[in-house]
Amino acid sequence: MNFFGPDSLTTATRDGEPMELAQTAEAGWRVYEHFEVLAPGAAVTYRLEFELVLGSEGEPVVWTQPLVRPEP
């Protein structure tokens, strides 16, 4: 599983527990990688938190994670 984001990851958790992620770069973004095999029907929750920097308008620069299925 790959998560794309800025180079300012502060916290990464899996089901509320801290987790380690490998890091690479692609297309100007940091790629945080995690490999895991889940059983059919299994579900987990990943949460990545970043320290966002302010853009030229004084607003945080926000980037939406691309998803296989868009959120409703």
**What per-residue confidence (pLDDT) applies to 19?**
96
pTM, two decimal places? 0.69
Tokens found for residue 7 = 């180079």
C-alpha distance from residue 7 to each of 21, 44, 53 (Å): 13, 24, 10
Q: Tens-digit pLDDT profile for the chain (72 aa)?
A: 899 888 889 999 999 999 999 999 987 789 999 999 999 999 999 999 998 777 778 877 766 666 667 666
**What per-residue confidence (pLDDT) applies to 57?**
80
* Residues 34, 20: Cα–Cα separation, whole Å: 8
